[in-house]
């Protein structure tokens, strides 16, 4: 990667995840600056070897400025860094729901990348969906790809509506999958599998199946069919999942996250006020 600096404004869980991904890739700690409102947290961030500060404006002075606060604090934080973002900087937001035109209006900056990373970025197995405003240059896009690439896979989408959907799928996904894994391990324990064996068999089954699905070009239903003999064990298990509305509940869960993302976006748009511009 070239020698640009990257600043995280509001460095909590997700910003630290991204910082760890960058450090693991060998990005020099001196190129990373992160700000936080609490001194104890600043000390924790400094312990990673990066520059850490109580001053959001210092992080906002980097070449690439990552806005990584919660949606509820976004507008206050942006007001505080007003004028601190350099005209040639690239602004990257990971804030759930915050739409490009809200970010453009509230930062006064037109080169905005809105993205939705996820927690596995911490171990460089992340998935990020991102969308850029029209003035973002090819060079900016290459920078974004380089940053996100060290943390896992990424997809650029034209329509930022897909970033809202990604918030419900890959942003929320690790919690949904972890919830499923926990329940599966508990179920294995319920039928008498020792804890260590249950954990290992559930995880390997999950990873192996996911990899097999990835490698297979056919429909997933064909794979299910392959392990389902008439009157057999899998058939009994699947029937219980159907009776329990497993697929419907999962759809409702993902849709709830999506609706909440839209709500957060609407609240931010309303709060950003009547001066909201059309996306540039």
Ligand X SMILES: NC(=O)c1ccc[n+]([C@@H]2O[C@H](COP(=O)([O-])OP(=O)(O)OC[C@H]3O[C@@H](n4cnc5c(N)ncnc54)[C@H](OP(=O)(O)O)[C@@H]3O)[C@@H](O)[C@H]2O)c1
Q: Which residue sits closest to ligand X, CB atoms considered?
A: 12
Q: Binding segment for ligand X among 117-125, 152-160, 205-213, 272-280 (CB under 6 A)?
A: 117-125
The C-alpha atoms of residue 150 and residue 143 are separated, in whole angstroms, by 11
Backbone angles phi, psi at 7, to 5 degrees: -115, 135
Cα first-last separation, the chain: 28
Using CB under 6 A as the binding rule, the residues of this chain from 128 to 187 that contact ligand X are: 171
Among 8, 45, 65, 71, binds ligand X (CB under 6 A): 71
Using CB under 6 A as the binding rule, the residues of this chain from 29 to 58 that contact ligand X are: 35-38, 56
Among 62, 78, 94, 136, binds ligand X (CB under 6 A): 94
Residue 154, classed as helix, strand or coil, is: strand
Q: How far is the CB of 14 from ligand X (least distance, A)?
A: 3
Instruction: Look up tokens 């329940």; give the residue.
Output: 183
Q: How far is the CB of 121 from ligand X (least distance, A)?
A: 8
Q: Binding segment for ligand X among 110-118, 207-215, 229-237, 241-249 (CB under 6 A)?
A: 110-118
Q: How far is the CB of 107 from ligand X (least distance, A)?
A: 15
Strand partners, 32: 6
Task: Give the single-character DSSP code of 65.
Answer: E
Rg of the chain in Å (alpha carbons): 21
# binding residues, ligand X (CB under 6 A): 24
Residue with smaller CB distance to ligand X, 10 or 265: 10
> Which long-range CB contacts under 8 A does 202-206 form with residues at least 24 apart?
206/177, 206/181
The C-alpha atoms of residue 125 and residue 107 are separated, in whole angstroms, by 31
Among 14, 65, 90, 163, binds ligand X (CB under 6 A): 14
Tell me which residue of 100, 116, 180 sits closest to 148, measured CA to CA.
Answer: 116
Looking only at the bridges linking them, the beta strands covering 51-53 and 64-67 are unpaired
Residue with smaller CB distance to ligand X, 89 or 95: 95
Q: How far is the CB of 230 from ligand X (least distance, A)?
A: 42
Which residues here bind ligand X, judged by CB under 6 A? 10, 12-15, 35-38, 56, 68-71, 73, 77, 94-96, 116-119, 171
């Amino acid at each position: 990667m070239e020698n640009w600096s990257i600043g995280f404004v509001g460095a909590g869980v997700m910003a630290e995840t991204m910082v760890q991904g960058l450090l693991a890739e060998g990005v020099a700690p001196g190129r990373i600056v992160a700000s936080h409102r609490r001194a104890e947290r600043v000390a924790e961030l400094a312990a990673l070897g990066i520059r850490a500060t109580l001053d959001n404006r210092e992080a906002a002075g980097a070449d690439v400025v990552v806005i990584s606060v919660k949606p509820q604090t976004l507008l206050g934080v942006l007001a505080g860094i007003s004028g601190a973002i350099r005209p040639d900087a690239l602004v990257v937001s990971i804030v759930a729901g915050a739409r490009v035109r809200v970010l453009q209006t509230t930062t006064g900056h037109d080169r905005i990348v809105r993205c939705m990373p996820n927690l596995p970025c911490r171990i460089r197995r992340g998935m990020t969906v991102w969308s850029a405003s029209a003035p973002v240059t090819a060079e900016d896009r290459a920078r974004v790809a380089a940053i996100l690439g060290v943390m896992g896979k990424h997809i650029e989408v034209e329509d930022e509506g897909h970033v809202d959907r990604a918030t419900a799928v890959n942003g929320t996904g690790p919690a949904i999958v972890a919830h499923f894994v926990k329940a599966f391990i508990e179920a294995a324990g319920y039928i008498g599998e020792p804890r260590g064996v249950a954990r290992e068999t559930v995880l390997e089954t999950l990873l192996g199946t996911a990899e097999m699905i990835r490698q297979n070009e056919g429909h997933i239903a064909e794979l299910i069919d392959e392990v389902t003999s008439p009157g057999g064990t899998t058939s009994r298990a699947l029937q219980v999942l159907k009776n329990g509305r497993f697929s419907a509940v999962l759809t409702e869960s993902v849709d709830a996250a999506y609706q909440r993302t839209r709500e957060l976006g609407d609240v931010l748009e309303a709060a950003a006020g009547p001066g909201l511009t059309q996306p540039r």
